[in-house]
Amino acid sequence: MNKLFAQVVAPVARPAADRPLTHVFVRDLVLDAMIGAYDHERDKPQRVRVNLDLKVELRPGPPTDNLADVVSYDTMIASVREIVNAGHVNLVETLAERIADRCLIDRRVKIATVRVEKLDVFPEAASIGVEIERKQV
């Protein structure tokens, strides 16, 4: 066998596999938010839709049936509501960042994907918005 070919096809040592990740998600949470950069958007709330997809590393060992051992979607929804109700933000990007930051406070959340959409901006579009992905540092 050719030396160069042997080097190219030689098996590569791989690090031990990380623990498996579990997806905890919230789909299509619709809330009224004070959001928008324009003056006319400061007068009344707008409907926003929030989607979360959290990649979570749970504790090793056999699964338990204990709420304390999981990342609770109840807690995540309560956090999103609190952030949305905290006051006016100009940008969907800002709202998405705040939500992602809050999700990543729980060190078990390794990756947070957050989508924030404004639903009633353009009549010819179902929504406009942003999706971000942030990782644990």
Query: Which residues are catalytically annotated?
Result: 118
* CB 52, CB 113: distance < 8 Å: yes
110 three-class SS: strand
Distances (CA, A) of 126 to 31, 73, 135: 16, 26, 29
Tokens (6 digits) for 36: 């928008």
* CB 58, CB 70: distance < 8 Å: yes
